[in-house]
Chains A and B, each alone.
Chain A
Amino acid sequence: MARRMRNGGRRSSVGGDTVIDETEKDAASDGAGEEFAEEFVPTEADGDMFGGTPPKKPKHFWPSAKRLFGLLRAERAAMLVVVALVAISVVLTVIAPKILGMAMDTIFNGIIGAQLPAGLTLDQVIEQARANGNGQFADMLQGTSVVPGEGIDFAVLGRLIIVVLAMYTVASVLMWLQGYLLNGLVMRAVYGLRQDIEEKLNRLPLSYFDTRQRGDLMSRVTNDVDNIQAALQQAFSQLVQSVLMVVGIAAMMFIVSWQLALIALIALPLSGIIAGVIGVRSQKLFTAQWKNTGALNGHIEESFSGQDIVRAFGRDREMLEEFDRRNESLFKASFGAQFVSGMIMPSMTFVSYLSYVLIAVVGGLRVASGQMTLGDATAFIQYSREFSQPIGQMAGMANMLQSGVASAERTFELLDADEQQPETATATLPARTDGRVEFQHVTFSYDPEHPLIEDLSFSAEPGHTIAIVGPTGAGKTTLVNLVMRFYELTGGRILLDGVDITDLSRHDLRSRIGMVLQDAWLFGGTIRENIRYGRLDATDEEVVEAAEATMVDRFVRQLPEGYDTIIDAEGGSVSAGERQLITIARAFLANPSLLILDEATSSVDTRTELLVQHAMAALRTDRTSFVIAHRLSTIRDADTILVMQQGRIVEQGDHETLLERRGAYYDLYMSQFRGGEEADTGAGAPTGAVPTLTGTTSQT
């Protein structure tokens, strides 16, 4: 259906041979095809390890980001607590190395002190050193608080270590606590978002689903939500934490030694440049790798799923050559991407080693000349090491956040889509409806430029069977969809038992109607559950009864698991025809007052169909039914046959009347029942109006 909307131009001009119904018929297989395609697109997770899916960029970053964080609005107080906890733990983490430096000083002072004669003051020792021409040593001592003759002061050292440990412990606990709180509140928000999506899906009009690629819609409600969850859970807290860490460490470095801080800051633009240059380059290479991966995977998919054709037309060699070519270029692209991106880490390590060396040397010189203590130098080395990590993290988290916001944007688009008309139920139907359906001047189109059904009027009497026939694209499926109120009319109205269906709630209307679609949709569950879907409170006996009536029981009994056979998405264990029979059983069980069969037996072979028809006939006796069928044999005994062409009813009447009229129905019938006389004679059919035809087609 999606195609129809996009290729609207093509539809109108192909005469009777338009794409609508064929397209719908293929919906099931298309769905499978899409699932197929989706399955092999590397997931977000794979992408991350690989250096990322093609960068997703949001269209409007700030409004979408604001709305994304708006999801957490209900938890504003908790959010504040989280931010406060992060801030406190960062402050503690940032101060701790300074204290460790003090511990280091205590040790160093102790060693130096132990070497010096006791009883003298520090100044006296310095004087002595200078006097002995040992100026360097004197300078160094100047910056310390050495007590000559005293070894390491373990009381002080112990206190410092306990303080540091206490700080780290508190920081770790707070870190854990904020993670715990954030996790809980993000998951609550994501849970809410998922529920919003579900509710939204139920309120969207069917046309929304028709006009969008299923794969795209699926990824909006699945991958994008996962992505949002990841962004909120990780990116947010880590980003806050990283920013605070960078600020905190920078501040501490300046407090400890502004000279060394300047040296350390040189590393900042350096790593920025490296990350920038390599990053941009590797981003390009990753895009190339991604493209090549897609091209190769596409080729593999095609070769494997079209293998019969490849074989039958002897294209093996060409396909193999193409594979080798694409495989080789993927190798080149991915090697380049992996190498260049792999360079980032050693390069960053190099920069951090570089600043380590500089700090060690300059720090060493400064300590030696007494302008700085050893503890401060070691603290500084620790700071400079911790500095590069949050910077790298910030870059990663910014990417993740950007991707999360892009996903959020796509999800919000879904949440903002126009909804179906709200319920305006003013009337209700009696418990048992008669099933009288009346179309009054109904006009309908999927898009305004291409009217599909124009001024259509007819009525279906209670208990009657109305067959709708016509070439593909005539609007047959659309017509019955209108009865279900899957789409809103452009003009006119449809009455059920004299009540305008727009005055009924959709629930009320649809619960009166049983519908079997050409697309035999079954969900992943047992056959029993799938049949019971028609009436949830049906007993097992009733389920089996319905199955027996619709020829389902026959093949179910041959399955090893019987009614407990699990139907999977690809439906391996049951054929297309069998799936259709199960959907018929489902409608049978629902026992509605109005029955709609839309190509319900198109995949069932004709002999089985005949048997199903017996059952359907029983089901149809006291209710109105609409039957759409390609095979005219299915509908010959209908009370009224509507012949549709291009959205209009061109003929109306029962089988005999229409044949006698020698119009459109006659033509259709002729083309389908060539050589039919012998058959009918063989079956003892009484009709005299059966064509005798040989050889030529009757179509003119």
Chain B
Amino acid sequence: MALLSLTLRAARPYAAWIAAVVVLQLIATIAALYLPSLNAQIIDKGIASGDLEFIWNTGMLMLTVCLVQAAAAITAIYFGARTAMAVGRDLRRWVYRKVDSLSALEVNRFGAATLITRGTNDVQQVQMLVLMTLNFMVSTPIMCIGGIIMALREDLGLSWLVWVSVPTLALVVGVLVYFLMPLFRLMQDRIDGINGVLREQITGIRVVRAFVREPFESDRYRRANKAITDVSVKVGNLFVLMFPAIMMILHLATAAVLWFGGERVDAGEMQVGALTAFLQYLLQILMAVMMGVFMVMMIPRAVVCAERIDEVLRTETHQVVPETERVPSPTEGRVEFRNVTFGYPGAERPVLDDVSFVAEPGRTTAIIGSTGAGKTTLVALVPRLYDPQQGEVTIGGVPVAELTRRQLADTVALVPQKPYLFSGTVASNLRVGDEHASDDDLWEALRVAQAEDFVRDMPKGLDSPIAQGGSNVSGGQRQRLSIARALLAKPKVYLFDDSFSALDVTTDARLREALGRVTGEAALIVVAQRVSTIVDADRIIVLDGGVIVGSGTHEELLADNPTYQEIVESQLSAEVV
């Protein structure tokens, strides 16, 4: 159902083009159906009575019909391709815009991976079905009905041949397809299976070799290989039945037409030209039926895709972002959390529970706590990647929910835990922070982020290519580039979410020192696991299980906060035995 409603919705603007396709296909089909009838006339009126002129004239008429047919068919393809591609373009646009309007939470519920598949492959599948429908499926019923009418016009007495052969062919092809479809799906599963085994063996090659598990893995692989071979053989064996079976039916029909037609001709109930025309119509109908059945095979896959697309489009966003500026941008970077509670939908326990604190401008506020304490979530609330269920987050006294995306982006710069770089160059990535930054600005930011050295060492410096996601630079380099990017944005609030973890400690220290010199009156919120990263912070907030269990300087916390003591102890003392 999703398929139908989705494609109808997407195709509505192109109704006129679709109408053109239908009309043109109708013309092309009628022209194609007219030819055998003209040929019959050549035989009956021309040959049988030796009328050469009639043969010539009819031949010219046939030629004209051919031209009309070709012109109509090609124009139909034009509109069909245009409509299908436009539908695809619009579906992609809808998905993209919808995803853009969703909050990070809603996006995460889907997962970026599946959203990408839905926006690309799934749309392509639907688009392909639309194309096939317009190019072939529209003409199939016309051909069937038209062919039957024409055949019956030639001779009613043989009509029973149509009623027998068409269902027989549809049945035979249908049954084969019915058995093949689940096998195809199974084969795809098995292909995924064996590819999965290989993927694991290649990614885990060190572990496999370290544990001497080659025999175990080979055995697993052999079973997967056996499984795919078995199902491929089955598919192949069924598949090779298809063509001979179809041929057999067509030839049986031909023979039957000749035999029973011969009787009717002999009895004077039918002309011999009509016999040949009938034969050709029957073959045309059967071919159309066959095409139709094959087309139907495409539908289940497209249905799944359409459902997946529809699911995205039907998702309502719960995050309201002002489109136009309602309030002036914050003038200072004072971040305040007031009784903030946040939990994932359906989770038993909130991730953050009644959290209140203030990060002063010009100061460093550090957040520390074990894995799963809620540190990353806390940081994500500031740029509104998530919205709290209760309480509010303000910057410079302005609630973040009042700000437009642009305002918020100008105020806050985030360096996420898993830094993401875009494909392009070092420079283009840095300029995400500030489009108008000069090269000198870029170098300055790189210097502070301790990224100058390695960028200089790259063959093309600032213009060195960066692969999608930043996969061609190391994790530490990625972190430093994304820090430089944040610096260029010159925000009022910096959010560093465990941004120093991939750096070795000396680089980490140098970076933090340089950072202190350039961030000025901005508020720095630093999430860290390493105590050494945050000992100098003006204030350290200790988070445990979503609750603030302590707040103060390193010394203060060390004196009286047991959780902080435990964390420090775990990092600084190794006397465990």
Contacts and interface: CB of A to CB of B under 8 A. Distances in A.
Instruction: State which size class the interface on B falls in.
Output: 35 or more
Contacts of B244: 171-173, 175-176, 179
A364 B453 contact: no
B93 A327 contact: yes
Interface in A362-390: 364-365, 367-369, 374, 378, 381
Contact of B371 (A206, A510, A577): A577
Interface stretch (B163-171, B199-207, B334-342, B357-365): B199-207
Interface string A668-681: 10011111101110
B213 A343 contact: no
Interface stretch (B2-10, B109-117, B152-160): B109-117
Interface in A169-204: 169, 171-173, 175-176, 179-180, 182-184, 186-188, 190-191, 194-195, 198-199, 201-202
A466 interface: no
A137 interface: yes
Contacts of B566: 607
Contact of A335 (B82, B115, B125, B507): B82
The majority secondary structure among interface residues of chain A is helix
Contact of B124 (A17, A33, A42): A42
B82 to A, nearest CB: 6
A515 B476 contact: no
B312 to A, nearest CB: 11
A168 B85 contact: no
B202 A214 contact: yes
Nearest to B102: A307
Contact of A361 (B59, B385, B507): B59
Given A107-B272, A308-B385, A152 B576 contact: no
Contacts of A152: 262-263, 265-266
Contacts of A346: 28, 70, 73-74, 77
Contacts of A37: 468
B471 A637 contact: no
A630 B504 CA distance: 7
Given A300-B119, A304-B112, A364 B240 contact: no
Given A137-B49, A610-B576, A342 B81 contact: yes
A218 B510 contact: no
A27 B524 CA distance: 31
- B56, B207, B266 — most chain A CB neighbours (10 Å): B207
Interface string B182-210: 00000000010011101111111111011
- B125, B530, B558, B575 — most chain A CB neighbours (10 Å): B575
Given A342-B77, A606-B570, A169 B577 contact: no
B539 interface: no
A46 B225 contact: no
A634 interface: yes
A315 B558 contact: no
Contact of B576 (A23, A524, A613): A613
Contacts of A349: 32, 69-70, 73
Given A107-B272, A168-B251, A339 B66 contact: no
A617 B124 CA distance: 56
Given A511-B212, A608-B370, A633-B573, A334 B88 contact: yes
A140 interface: yes
Interface stretch (A108-116, A246-254, A263-271): A108-116
B374 interface: no
A354 B261 CA distance: 28
Contacts of A471: 504, 506
A9 B513 CA distance: 30
A312 B81 contact: no
B46 A296 contact: no
B520 interface: no
A119 interface: no
B502 A168 contact: no
Contacts of A314: 405-406, 408-410
A441 interface: no
Contacts of B78: 339
B547 interface: no
A259 interface: no
B507 A183 contact: no
B258 A606 contact: no
B77 A330 contact: no
Interface string B223-251: 00110010011001101110111011001
Contact of B555 (A229, A484, A678): A678
Interface string B56-86: 1011001100110110011001101110111
Contacts of A304: 99, 107, 112, 115-116, 119
B529 interface: yes
B370 A607 contact: yes
Contacts of B457: 10, 13-14
Contacts of B124: 42, 46, 50, 293
B117 A354 contact: no
A606 B504 contact: no
Nearest to B508: A671
Contact of B572 (A31, A103, A633): A633
A179 B238 CA distance: 10
Given A304-B99, A521-B207, A678-B555, A311 B104 contact: yes
A415 B240 CA distance: 31
Given A17-B453, A29-B475, A353-B69, A697 B510 contact: yes
A367 B571 contact: no
A459 interface: no
Contacts of A301: 116, 468
B259 interface: yes
A69 interface: no
- A106, A161, A300, A634 — most chain B CB neighbours (10 Å): A300
Nearest to A176: B244
Contacts of A110: 262, 265-266
A80 interface: no
Contacts of B80: 342
Contacts of A534: 211
Nearest to B115: A304
Nearest to A188: B229
Given A191-B225, A313-B413, A328 B107 contact: no
B422 interface: yes
B454 interface: yes
A631 B120 CA distance: 43
Contacts of A221: 198, 202
A412 interface: no
A179 B233 CA distance: 11
A557 interface: no
Interface stretch (A316-324, A403-411, A642-650): A316-324
Contacts of B245: 172
B296 interface: no
B414 interface: yes
A324 B109 CA distance: 25
B492 interface: no
Contact of B201 (A13, A186, A201, A316): A201
B432 interface: yes
Contact of B120 (A214, A226, A300, A311): A300
Contacts of B92: 296, 300, 327
Nearest to B92: A327
A364 B47 contact: yes
Given A610-B576, A699-B506, A361 B453 contact: no
Contacts of A188: 229
10 contacts: A22-B474, A152-B265, A309-B422, A313-B485, A327-B92, A357-B63, A486-B209, A521-B207, A533-B211, A697-B509
Q: What are the 9 tightest A-B residue pairs by CB atom distance, in nearest-first order?
A: A314-B409, A179-B240, A136-B50, A183-B236, A361-B59, A22-B474, A346-B73, A636-B574, A679-B572
Given A301-B468, A349-B73, A679-B558, 11 more contacts: A103-B258, A154-B266, A183-B240, A221-B198, A297-B120, A350-B67, A361-B58, A486-B209, A510-B212, A515-B210, A672-B505
